[in-house]
Amino acid sequence: MTDAPKGERIAKVMARAGLCSRRDAERWIAEGRVSVDGKVLDSPALVVTPANDVRVDGKPLPLAEAARLWRYHKPAGLVTTHRDEKGRETLFDKLPPELPRVISVGRLDLNSEGLILLTNDGELARRLELPSQGWLRRYKVRVHGNPQPEQLAALAKGITVDGVAYGSIRVEFERQQGANAWLTMSLKEGKNREIRKVMEHLGLGVNRLIRLAYGPFQLGALPRGEVEEVPPRVLEQQLGVAKPDTSMEARRKEGRKLAHHRG
């Protein structure tokens, strides 16, 4: 007697297939875009197995690809969403057409630039975003004003701004340049607009913000607007992600083609 195939939550399966994040999968289900064995779902509380016929917008769920990761040098002026309600350009509009459907690991706001990690695997993106990962995000920041050493040093103990508690932020003063100062800032959580809000609280306006590193992954000399894949051996070393099985190339191509469909 053989064991029955092990099931997983539908949103997790969709994320692993590279269609979307788990959160987006739950939203798509609520919108009635997902069906299992011919029945439209109205709740993500469903466990499925490979035996189930899962469809998104009437199309079969693509086969899960091997997890892949890219470094992208985001220019200022692009939003980090697939669709923008204001019609602004997104970083996904600027990616090479040969790339599979990818999602971002975290975000950078419209006016921020620098390193963004992209992946075809929603579960990997979720894993990399978790604060428990303990990875430092490092930024080069230009502020308007004259930061005081004691102000910057105090941030290492954390700070609360407008009721929001921010964890330890390590700040290194680089240089004063006229009315502006350059700082290097390192933090682990990266809450929404954290650096801008904390600096504003100190009376320092951020007028340039560049992410230099996300954990072990560095912006380095990657040109603005360029994308470069992280080698599989590095993924294996840093994250324990298995190298792609080259015998599955035909299946991966099929998955990529379907994954481009966004409905």
Report, as residue numbers or ranges, the catalytic residues: 109
3-state SS of the chain: helix, strand, coil percent to 5? 25, 30, 45
Q: Note whether 197 and 161 are within 8 A (CB).
A: yes
Q: Compute the distance between CA of residue 156 and CA of residue 158 in angstroms, rounded to an integer.
A: 6
Q: Note whether 14 and 29 are within 8 A (CB).
A: no
The H or E element spanning position 34 is strand 34-36
Strands (E) located in the chain:
8-9, 34-36, 39-40, 47-48, 54-56, 59-60, 69-74, 103-105, 113-119, 137-144, 159-161, 164-166, 169-177, 180-187, 205-214, 217-218, 227-229
DSSP string for residues in 37-61 = TTEE-S-S--EE-TTS-EEETTEEP
Please give the angle made by the CA atoms of 90, 14 and 9, to the nearest 5 degrees.
135
For the chain, the first-to-last Cα distance in angstroms comes to 41
Both tokens assigned to 76 = 């200022």
Q: Which residue has the tokens 């921020």?
A: 112
